[in-house]
Amino acid sequence: MRQSSSPSDRLLGGVSGAPDVDTELSDRSLLQAMLDAEAALARATADVGILPAPAAEAIVEQCRADGYDPGALGRAADAAGNPVVALVGELTAAVPEHARGWVHLGATSQDVLDTALVLVSVRALDPLLRHLDAAVDAAARLADTHRDTVLVARTLGQQAAPTTFGLKAAGWLTGLVEARDRLRQARAAQPAQLGGAVGTLAAFGPAGTEVVERFAAHLGLPSSPLPWHTRRQPWLDLAAALGGLLVSTGKVALDVGLLAQNDVGEVAEGGTGRGGSSAMPHKRNPVDSILVTAAARRGPGLVATLFAAAVQEHERAAGAWHAEWEPLLDLLHVAGGAAARCARMLVGLQVHTARMRENLDATGGLVLAEAVAARLAPVVGRGVAHELVTRAAAGPSFRAALLADPAIRAHLSEAEIDEALDPYRWLGSAGRFVDSALATVRGTDR
């Protein structure tokens, strides 16, 4: 039986992750990132003349994940509390004798694991952001196509007043763009970690800061002005950005799920063969909406764990650092799945404009009560206008009640009442808001 360490290949991982993101989160990928850190350390110390070049080359040659067993390293990690100690032991045994004394020179386990988690995060964010780009593009198309498609807005769970589906999609678009911007910023700011035993790099003598710069450069990461062993802002920025992504995709998913309810029927998810029920053959469930919503529910707990672990003592934490590893990887996992499913959901979304108009008209114009009151207010005052319209709204036919009320007809003709009941005349700045959202995203460089 084939075993895989990719989260997507686990029994439940397929409903929460995305395969291309999860590939970067696998045990093998994390192991390779740890070895990449060891290789960069050897190169950096050789660059400044601390480590002999032949020893550095020998170490780099053995920094390939295929030569090590992640499962065995994981089991051995229990003895030291992290997998780096066991990996360093195996790496040392793998290199020629002349290089063994130079393996892991001047570093501590946290340097290797923190840097590896940064590398894994940055690498996983590449496919995640591609999914997010696709979601942004799809939301922009919906906003543009349906700029003037009217539907009823809902507030506090009730029909409220007219809006446009374009404006709803523009709201999704703006949230996704803001989440993408924050993720890009967080990714660019993830630094390498190198501080040695207590953050002084004493083992490197006066060349310590130069080693840090070379180490980061070999990894393609920014260097930190000083070690961040117990200053966890990089993780907090990343966690907050991922949490924001889950909120933004969750908002889209929640709206789609509600709009797709049978008795609403204003949208439907695409995808042949998706959404079936094991018990009810007639059902077509909004699967992507459901799974993205599930991811959004998981996000706050994972983010909270990373924030709770960020208060760390002295120069190295006992337990708080260890509490970060799995929640960070889990957060990347569910965020990747949410981004991929949100993109698929929006790309294939079926928009039923006729049903939107049918639902808008279902109350006989009641959702335009505010518009009628606004026409009366200049002549009778806002309070009286509100009372008159409230009274008319209590009848079986709103339009008929408006036409039959002499206090209203004294100020509004039948034509004026019909104009007030036209939803297209009560959209305010909806179109301009859509245009503004589209202009913003079209001006954003990828």
Helices (H) and strands (E) in the chain, counts: 19, 4
Q: Length of the chain in residues, anyone?
A: 446
Question: Is 397 annotated in the active site?
Answer: no
| Element spanning 301, H or E | helix 287-308
DSSP assignment of 303-338: HHHHHHTT---SSS-SSTTTTTHHHHHHHHHHHHHH
SS3 of 177-211: the string is HHHHHHHHHHHHCCCCCCCCCCCCCHHHHHHHHHH
Burial string for 313-340 (b: 16+ CB within 10 Å, else e) reads eeebbeebbebbbebbbbbbbbbbbbbb
Which of 171, 132, 185, 173 lies closest to 20 in space, CA to CA?
132
Choosing from 75, 277, 382, 425, the catalytic residue is 277
Question: Is 5 annotated in the active site?
Answer: no
Choosing from 180, 182, 187, 316, the catalytic residue is 316
What is each CA distance from 165 to 139, 357, 364, in whole angstroms?
11, 11, 20
* Residues that are catalytic: 277, 316
